[in-house]
Amino acid sequence: MITTADRLKTVEEYYFSKKLREVRGLMADGKPIINMGIGSPDLAPSQEVVEAIQESVLEEGAHQYQSYQGLPEFREAVASFYKYKYNVEANPASEILPLMGSKEGIMHISMAFLNPGDEALIPNPGYPTYSSVTKLVGAQPKYYDLVADNDWFPDIEVLEKEDLSKVKIMWVCYPHMPTGAVAKVDQLIALVAFAKRNDILLVNDNPYSFVLNNNPISILSVEGAKEVALELNSLSKTFNMAGWRVGMVLGDEKFINPVLKVKSNMDSGMFYGIQKGAITALKSGQKWFDSVNETYSKRKELMLQLVEKLNCVYDDNSVGMFVWAKLPEGSSSAEEFIDNILYDKDIFITPGTIFGSNGEGYIRFSLCVTEEKIKEAISRF
């Protein structure tokens, strides 16, 4: 008998992969499903980006293997983007690597730094991939609580009282997914100081900076952060390029080089045309950001009407491409709540519990849904 590796027993099929199969089944049965579950931008990338990839495919060498580190021009574009948008200096020769989406970076960083038995601090609620990748590499997730009363920010004093001797990595994500919480500069300073005191590699996963957020911040803007921190970023949400699979990791070369060591053994460079399109996107002017946000802002206004119809509560300070809403007092579990809506109203909303136990009592609406569909959803109640 051919058996699978033991590591597969540590993870389950991704919730969305399973649930969307069910949702697709309902659609195939003719149900008029409105999918408010997943954050895959439905808006198009800019025309310039599309033209850049189109033109690039005719260039000499476009279809050959590319450098593991990416085109120098790509790394320079990332460096300028970071300087201009976050006031962060990063050396394009040594402190930037292209990634096939930030999701890939979570695996590469974990492979580069975690041994079996090591621990990784993981937000609850948080992006499920931090936890599954940690398990796949044989390390242990050590969840830290994020709660509304503390603005979805870790209680560092409480954390520091725990045994952190096995902790090697701390995953943070600000602006936070799924709650949309933002971290202030002094909170990021406190995180960097915590990581330094405890010899922990701090990784900020930062793909939502530019969606309905007036104050994008990078963890690398904290003084001395590069001694302990890496940052993941992505073009998926900022430039509507989720399917392109393009992102990046930035940080000191002492952390970037081990990631490159893993990466160069796994892929053989990023397609030239994708890099050319990404370079064009990274050079987008303010008009691009304003126009995307105008659309999301209108959608959010409508989505909040739906939230109100469901008697849920929303925090006005949150940002990003999701609406994180608290269920009314006395509600059933989040999964039961969304299943009832799925089967009664043909609307799919994400239950907060897929992001961890602290997501119980919450549901998440994606803004990657047209205004017409949101209006239609409202009219079903």
* Contact residues: ligand PLP, CB under 6 A: 39, 101-103, 127, 173, 177, 205, 207, 234, 236, 242, 247
Give the list of residues 6+ apart from residue 311 with CB closer than 8 angstroms, or none.
328
CA nearest 250: which of 97, 84, 103, 109? 97
How far apart (Å, rounded) are the C-alpha atoms in residues 353 and 349?
A: 12
Radius of gyration of the chain (CA): 21
Please report where in the chains the tokens 């045994």 appear, as a residue: 163
Q: Which is nearer to ligand PLP, 39 or 277 (CB)?
A: 39
Q: Which is nearer to ligand PLP, 39 or 352 (CB)?
A: 39
CB of 233 to ligand PLP, least distance (A): 8
CB of 188 to ligand PLP, least distance (A): 16
CA nearest 123: which of 152, 166, 148, 149? 152
Instruction: Determine how many CB atoms are found less than 10 A away from the CB of residue 36.
Output: 25
Q: Which is nearer to ligand PLP, 37 or 39 (CB)?
A: 39
Pair 56, 272: CB distance under 8 Å: yes
Q: In the chain, helix, strand, coil percent, each to 5?
A: 45, 15, 40
Nearest-CB residue for ligand PLP? 101
Q: Which is nearer to ligand PLP, 247 or 273 (CB)?
A: 247
CB of 108 to ligand PLP, least distance (A): 12
Give the list of residues 6+ apart from residue 188 with CB closer than 8 angstroms, or none.
174, 204, 217, 219, 221, 222, 225
Q: Which is nearer to ligand PLP, 112 or 173 (CB)?
A: 173
Please report where in the chains the tokens 């189109």 appear, as a residue: 54
Pair 61, 272: CB distance under 8 Å: yes
Q: Which is nearer to ligand PLP, 173 or 278 (CB)?
A: 173
Q: Which is nearer to ligand PLP, 78 or 177 (CB)?
A: 177
Pair 149, 21: CB distance under 8 Å: no
CB of 223 to ligand PLP, least distance (A): 25
Q: Which is nearer to ligand PLP, 117 or 243 (CB)?
A: 243
Angle at 297 between CA 296 and CA 302, to 5 degrees: 95
